[in-house]
Copies of this chain bind each other. A is one copy, B any other.
Amino acid sequence: MPQFALRMQGAQRSFIREILKVTADPTVISFAGGLPNPASFPVAEIAAAASAVLAESGARALQYSATEGYLPLRQWIADRYRAKKGLDVDPADILITTGSQQALDLAAKVLVNAGDPVVIEKPGYLGAIQAFSLFRPHWRSVPLLDDGPDLPALDRALAGAKLFYAVTSFQNPSGLSYSEAKRAQVAELLRRHDCFFLEDDPYGELRFAGRDLPPVYAQRPEHSLLLGTFSKIAAPGFRLGWIVAQGEIMERLVIAKQAADLHTGSLDQMVVQRFLADNDFEAHVARIRKLYGGQCRAMQEAIARHFPRDVRVTAPEGGMFLWATLPEGLSSMELLQLAVERKVAFVPGAAFHVDGTGEDTLRLNYSNADSETINEGIRRLAQCLEICRARRSASLDLDEAAMQRGCQD
């Protein structure tokens, strides 16, 4: 074997994908994945779009195409930003990527030298941690509060940092969103530190409660990248995402994209564009919001019904995830072992931390199970929690007894 590059040292497969092997067993109730609900996939509409594209433009759809992406699709994205968020985005500012995971790889490739300080939320998105880690940044993490990052901690972290990466709406893994006030304050801190911003917004269209907010990107577009994806609003199997970028960095991203895979699939881009043009997208995305809103409520109700009161759980206004923090001394890895025996799965939170903490946290996905299954899974998890707590008490009692014996000796 050859000697591997330094960047591969310590690189591991996603722990989530390892857990997903357990959940391949259909009798396991899985809150582990981050899969959109297949009931939300517009299968018939996509089939019609694929037929139309291949019948009308087959040779073009199967040929190589521009690195930047299919112009009508870029136009749709620009139009939607304008209509929905009031953003002044031109199609030329949009680079189509092979899923937004590729956008993370390209951004890291273009920006990060080994040792550059890169700031991420705590907890932070695992896919970004993986993509960036291969370029060997010096990680700094900033705690997420219920309304966005802890500002004094962010202020400290941004000093001399290369960039700040954040998921500002319905974050993965926490489900948390930045409030309007926090968005302005974060933009102000970025300005003060002259720090570049990488805003990832895969779930922004999936708001089922509260009021829509513009991305932080809007406040400093020339010093930010904004990432989006069709994975949650059309289907992830296409691998279609995008980067909004202005000025010189777009040229570099295009160069990096060309070296990475020449361009994103021509047929995929044309089919999704055709699906968007021929169907009522607003009605489609409203159905997804309603579906996920109902599933989130089902999980919150089940948690209220079954979980002990001292487990803290976030209250998302959109997206696909809830985040739980266990009472002191309990470990989510230990909980997972018990849970898998009882055929229920989730993701322990440590993987979302770049500082080795988070062992008392876990991520719960609600987008991929019905209310009844959600209730049963949460009921089983609650049992596991009680077992963990009992074990913990027993071990504390043993410790105390040992201490007392020690005192008597």
Contact = CB atoms under 8 A, between A and B. Distances in A.
Nearest to A231: B64
B1 A248 contact: yes
A267 B248 contact: no
Contacts of A133: 259
A159 to B, nearest CB: 15
Contacts of A6: 113
A260 interface: yes
Interface size grouping (class) on chain A: 35 or more
Contact of A130 (B58, B105, B258): B258
Interface stretch (A10-18, A177-185, A208-216): A10-18
A102 interface: yes
A54 interface: yes
A304 interface: no
Count of chain copies? 2
B239 A261 contact: yes
Contact of A111 (B5, B55, B134, B235): B5
Interface stretch (A35-43, A347-355, A383-391): A35-43
A22 interface: no
A261 B239 CA distance: 8
Interface string A45-59: 011001100110011
B259 A134 contact: yes
A265 B249 contact: no
A239 B255 contact: no
Contact of A51 (B8, B50, B235): B50
A206 to B, nearest CB: 16
A131 interface: yes
Given A11-B255, A104-B259, 11 more contacts: A5-B135, A11-B259, A12-B255, A13-B255, A38-B60, A41-B62, A63-B235, A99-B261, A130-B258, A131-B260, A236-B266
8 closest Cβ pairs, A-B complex? A43-B58, A62-B235, A237-B266, A38-B59, A2-B196, A47-B54, A62-B237, A130-B259
Interface of A: 1-8, 11-14, 17, 33, 35-36, 38, 41, 43-44, 46-47, 50-51, 54-55, 58-65, 67, 98-99, 101-102, 104-105, 109-113, 127, 130-131, 133-135, 162-163, 196, 222-223, 231, 235-239, 247-249, 251-252, 254-256, 258-268
